[in-house]
Structure 1
Amino acid sequence: MTDAARGSLLPRPADLFRFGPHDAAHLPAARVAVSVVAPLAVLAALGHLEWAPYATFGAFASAFGRGLPRLQRIGMQLEAGVGLVLCVVLGAALSALATPAVGLVLAVAVVAGLASLVSDLRRWSPPGPLFFVFGLGVCAFVPADGASVAAAAVVAPASLALALAASLAGALTPRGRRALATGTGRVWRRDPRLLDRRRTLVHAGICLVASLAAGLISVAAGFENPYWAMVSAVVPVVGSATATQLVRAGHRLLGTLAGVVLAAGLLALEPDTLWLIVLFGVLQFAAELAVMRNYGLTLLFVTPMALGMSALAGPVDVGELVVWRSVDTVVGVGVVVVLLLATHRLRTSRRPRRAD
């Protein structure tokens, strides 16, 4: 391999620690944090924190469309939110049907491929199937019955509605009304951009195969939560250059390993429900501040939140939780790195076509 080819394939270690600009991230970060925490507070007041995953993933629609004009952002959040709600309800239904672990892994892998494809075609931001794989995986592996499916069908759309309302709230301010009065502010349709259809299809295939392989390895090894490995297997696929994808894989691995250390310290304090929900809000806000700057730093905040979700249902074995999250991440990242390197030439870009 020539030096030029090697440079285009492998990232530099310094790339792992590069930071992007702040880009006024505090406003969308606050909006996402409120959208996630408010439904949890309502469920806590109602005494139904077992429905927390259904609420959380409906609310994650608020993370989509950052930087877009308000109406375009609402449109993207509605599109992605419908997909998230469907994943939540499907996951609850599969769990209620006592679907074997292998069947659950297959379902999550198919959704990983489909969500990657739709995300690229609809030009969602953030791109990729992360939220859909995570939402379906969590809800499919959490014990459920018929009543849980009904709850998911109500709670997830309600959380989505709250997220959309949070995005619309800014339109009530004088600044928001002025923005909507402009031509750009009233546009719903996203501008066309160059679309590499071959790369789109290849990425969807990689997401399907990588998540399936990681999930099956986890099931075969007796891991309790195979979807953790599956999430780690799809996250690095986002991006057009292999070097960029490998940086993202490194971020996923190192950020998660640092995050589990922080999670162990926080959960060892055995915070009560109120403090857990407050902690989720702080962590979500910090994660949204960091996500466009350095994905590895984002995982430092996301990982304690993800593991803390288990603590909402009652006491957890912190040591076991931390170890298995780490092992699953290593499996998922290892699988996808092999696939990304193996498909590097296949994904070498030709002239992309303009999306219709």
Structure 2
Amino acid sequence: MTDAGPQSGKGRQRLSSARDELSELFVPRSSDRPWAYPVAIAFAAALPLFIGAGFGAISQATIASIGAMTLTYMPRSTLDRRLVTIMAAASGMICCFALGQIAQIMPELRVFSLVLVTFFVTCGCRYYRIAPPSNLFFVIAASIGAYVPGGLEQMPQRLGIFALGCMSAIIVGFFYSWYITRRREPVDPEPPPKDIAGDVITDSLAFAFIIGLALAMAERLGFDRPYWVTISCLAVLQGPHLKAVWRRQLQRIIGTMVGLLLTAFVLSLADTPWHLAITVFVLMFLIQAIVVRNYAMAAVFITPYAITLAEATIGGTVNPAPLMAARFLDTVLGSLMGLLGGFLLHVDAIRNPVRCAVIRVLRLRPVRQ
């Protein structure tokens, strides 16, 4: 009897902690993001689809829509710095997509190529302190370029279409920046980190390793779209600390499960190219408006958005059920791999030996932690 009381109390405490943790997954946070921002992102993503619908080339327009995600790298700064940053991001996105396309020539080196892209892109994002989405869309561009269906003769056309999507983002970014800089004060950019070995190189090695491992597993398991695993993995890794990574992988999986229930309804709405463009606009607006407030709720809309674009890419003539099942499996694998990457990034017992090895190999000056 004397032991039952403390054990029962500990059990209730654990149950209460679990309930609190679960409830925090769905608690929205406050955000100062202006509503004009998700409108601009949604318009940039949907604009290529509206043009593609008009010219009867909706499957090609989906590639341009991905390039339009360049706009997400627009900083809160002055007009000139905003435009320079967007143009630099567009150049990087185009290069990443091109490198992914080149990797199709030698499929056996595809994973290794994407590992290199992930490492160098992450180095740049960490050094210049690019805020989330950070390396996300750069690696996504390379991954989609490496796995998008089509022959070698279509590569120049796909690259040109992707570049047009990036250019449309620059145009939208100019008008949005002209509007918003009159209403919001700019924020000074952060200086580069002092600990290059830890904050830049070690973290980039962790990202590259986990992305390579995730892609290799996806290919080994025969997944049709290994880049979906990459997307989920990178999205989870955007958490600033291990608890945030743990929470994001749960939010990603739960949000995807709920989003799959919404997908069938969304696909019924996107039954024509024009309806598809409108649907993408609405979904992207909801994603960008909600993602800074609660990631689980945003993941509910990310799932139908991704499947809708995949359906459009292949012409929308297949049963969407396999796409939905594949999306769930890819999300689970990617989220779990992202959690593993979180340990590599945020557990000092794992991270510090790698950092020390980087210092020794590159002969960098150590910085006190």
Task: Report if TM-score (shorter chain) is over 0.5.
Answer: yes
Assess if the C-alpha contact under 8 Å between 2:259 and 2:300 holds in 1: yes
Partner of 2:299: 299
Assess if the C-alpha contact under 8 Å between 2:206 and 2:344 holds in 1: no
Assess if the C-alpha contact under 8 Å between 2:45 and 2:68 holds in 1: yes
Assess if the C-alpha contact under 8 Å between 1:25 and 1:288 holds in 2: no
1:105 aligns with 2:111: yes
Structure 1 segments unaligned to the other structure (5+ residues): 1-9
Assess if the C-alpha contact under 8 Å between 2:269 and 2:275 holds in 1: no
1:55 aligns with 2:54: no
Q: Distance in 2 between matches of 1:327 and 1:143?
A: 20
Q: Displacement of 1:147 after TM fit?
A: 4.3
Q: Match of 2:72, as an amino acid?
A: A
Q: Distance in 1 between matches of 2:50 and 2:126?
A: 34
Secondary structure of the 2:25 match is helix
Assess if the C-alpha contact under 8 Å between 1:92 and 1:148 holds in 2: no
Aligned pair partner of 1:40 in 40, 49, 52: 49
Moved more, 21-30 or 339-348: 339-348
Assess if the C-alpha contact under 8 Å between 2:193 and 2:199 holds in 1: no
Counterparts in 2 of 1:280 and 1:127: CA distance versus 1, 3 Å: closer
Q: How many residues align?
A: 334
Q: Distance in 2 between matches of 1:347 and 1:68?
A: 33
Counterparts in 2 of 1:18 and 1:199: CA distance versus 1, 3 Å: farther
Secondary structure of the 1:330 match is helix
Partner of 1:75: 84
Moved more, 232-241 or 300-309: 232-241
Secondary structure of the 2:249 match is helix
Moved more, 25-34 or 10-19: 10-19
Structure 2 segments unaligned to the other structure (5+ residues): 1-17, 356-365
Assess if the C-alpha contact under 8 Å between 1:104 and 1:140 holds in 2: yes
Partner of 1:157: 163
**Matching of residues 1-356 of structure 1 within 5 Å:** 12-95=21-104, 97=105, 99-100=106-107, 102-170=108-176, 176=181, 190-192=189-191, 196-197=195-196, 198-268=198-268, 271-312=271-312, 313-341=315-343, 344-345=347-348, 346-347=350-351
Q: Match of 2:52, as an amino acid?
A: L
Moved more, 335-344 or 153-162: 335-344
Partner of 2:7: none
Q: Match of 1:108, as an amino acid?
A: L
Secondary structure of the 1:162 match is helix
Q: Distance in 2 between matches of 1:237 and 1:335?
A: 9
Counterparts in 2 of 1:37 and 1:268: CA distance versus 1, 3 Å: closer
Counterparts in 2 of 1:339 and 1:239: CA distance versus 1, 3 Å: closer
1:155-203 CA-to-partner distances (Å, cap 9, x unmatched) read 2222222211112114656x75x579xxx76x9x734265543033332
Q: Match of 1:19, as an amino acid?
A: P
Moved more, 296-305 or 199-208: 199-208
Q: Distance in 1 between matches of 2:148 and 2:176?
A: 36
Q: Displacement of 1:146 after TM fit?
A: 4.2
Counterparts in 2 of 1:51 and 1:193: CA distance versus 1, 3 Å: same
Larger radius of gyration: 2
Q: Match of 1:204, as an amino acid?
A: S
Counterparts in 2 of 1:271 and 1:200: CA distance versus 1, 3 Å: same
Counterparts in 2 of 1:190 and 1:240: CA distance versus 1, 3 Å: same
Q: Match of 2:157, as an amino acid?
A: A
